[in-house]
Amino acid sequence: MDIGTNSVRLLVVRFAANHAYRVVTDQKEVVRLGESEFADRRLHPAAMNRAVLVCRKLAELARSYNSAEIVAVATSATREAQNQAEFLRRLQEEAGLEVRVVSGLEEARLIYQGVASGMHLNGRQALFIDIGGGSTEVSVGDQRQYHYLGSLKLGAIRLNTMFLQDEIGPISPARYAQLQQHVRHTAVYVVQEVRRHRVDLGVGSSGTIQNLADIGVRLALKRRRERDDVLTQKQLRQAVELLCSLPLEARRNVPGINPERADIIIGGAAILETLMQDLGLPELVISDRGLRDGLLVDYIARSEHGPALHGLSVRCRSVLQLARACGFDEAHAHTVARLALELFDSARVAGLHELGEWERELLEYAALLHDIGAFLSYSNHHAHTYYLIRNADLLGFDQAEIALLAATAYYHRKGLPGRKDPQFVALDKRGQQALSEMSLLLRIAENLDRSHAGLVEQVRLYTEGKKTVVLEARAAGDVQLERWGIESRKELLERAFGRKLLVRF
């Protein structure tokens, strides 16, 4: 489920025993969640009511097909809203949905996956453009890999709110030029970055671009037969001239237009035409795939339904790219990650926690990143680490996962998590429940490699009776520094475990 600024989309698929799947239903409902939001950065009550009602109905539809899982994400309108938490709470309580809020770059990645996976690029490298209600996502990539991701605070509803909110008559050339000037100013950096990459063709997705293509192609077909899956700059210019010449009500009757888009289509057209002009794109191949398809591709890649992935996952690759950019001690980070996972697994066997594979994966990534704040300053580096993770736009993660990653890394040293700490308050309920155990295991793992020499070869946690936890480590060489690190924090660790701690090397 894709909860966008303009509409909510649902894709239900059924998997077969051989890992093949078929689409059961594909639904879309216009809700205008971002209506008037971009003036005050708040989701308005009427818009939230519409969105929650539609999401509840679509969730009921999905469950009527016996869906085992609903993967739901929210994009621009939700991620920018100051009352985001209220909206997410209502979705959980009234629609039974756990919704992830994704960053602009993560949205761009998912759109790239969804569109590229449905095309045969045949060795070509494409520029992908997707215009939503609140943001426009841009990516450059080939069949298997993206090479650039960008997200712009430009969308059809956003521009309508800013420039055309009360316009019901024709749009003058001067006003349209004003829209283009704003787009050009906002997109200048992304345009420069895209120009650094080879682009063999342009690909456009999203309802806005599909609608503009329908209008442009219908105008062209009045004169001659042309492809209906390509939108040229010339066709787009003709569509813009026609749409701007008409008042709102007449615009709703233009052949090829979705009447529900008549009031926002010109804002979307200004974004698309400006990008095509500034990037030198003579035409766009039109795709009907998008974010919801990317969610499916991403889900398959992570689940039992997909074949084993070759190389690193996008999540692991993204984490290592950040860590290497910060010049981390790679050997130490991998040692701490290995030890943290050994502690996690043995503690789970011992019944010391009930965390699952999701938390285990995030613990590994937090361990790899725990020291990156030293890139800024070793003093208080755990706080710098927290800031870097929260603001790095890690790909493949949602906002809740990034917050838990950052908080786990933050508490690898100094005090234990406190319920009033901003790092704790920023987490959702699941993250708050997991943080104490995850940060404790990371703290122990870090102290077991204080020398950065990788001396501890194996470690495990187990219980003796009901009141004692044993930390047993096997090491090669003198581990006096590691032993001191654990012993000096023994009281704090015992408080965290709620039991006496025995240390055996």
**Could you state, in order of their start, the residue ranges of all structural domains in the chain?**
2-101, 104-290, 314-452
308 pLDDT higher than 70:
no
Average pLDDT over the chain reads 91
Under 8 Å between Cβ of 6 and 34: yes
Q: What is the DSSP letter of 31?
A: -
**410: phi then psi, degrees, rounded to nearest 5:** -60, -45
Secondary structure of 236-289 in the HEC alphabet? HHHHHHHHHCCCHHHHCCCCCCCHHHCCCHHHHHHHHHHHHHHCCCCEEEECCC
Task: Tally the residues of the chain.
Answer: 505
Distance in angstroms (rounded) separating the CA atoms of residues 449 and 474:
12
Q: Are 364 and 404 in contact (CB under 8 A)?
A: no
One DSSP character per residue, 214-246 reads HHHHHHHHTTS---SSEEEHHHHHHHHHHHHTS
pLDDT at 221 over 80: no
Examine the pLDDT at 115 and tell me if it is beyond 60: yes
pLDDT category at 312 given cuts 50, 70, 90 is: low
CATH topology of domain 2-101: Nucleotidyltransferase; domain 5 (3.30.420)
CATH superfamily of 104-290: Exopolyphosphatase. Domain 2 (3.30.420.150)
Kindly report the CATH class assigned to 314-452: mainly alpha
> What is the identity of the amino acid at 185?
H
> Same topology for domains 2-101 and 104-290, yes or no?
yes
The helix/strand/coil state of 308 is coil
Q: What is the β-pairing status of strands 468-475 and 456-464?
A: antiparallel
Q: What is the pLDDT of residue 491?
A: 87
Other Cβ atoms within 10 Å of 222 Cβ, number: 7
Beta bridge partners of 28: 9
Residues near 138 by beta carbon (within 8 Å), at least 6 away in sequence = 108, 127, 128, 129, 130, 148, 149, 150, 151, 152, 190, 194, 275
Q: What is the pTM of this model?
A: 0.82
Residue 361 carries which DSSP code? Answer: H
Say how far apart CA 142 and CA 123 lie, in whole Å: 7
Per-residue pLDDT, 306: 54
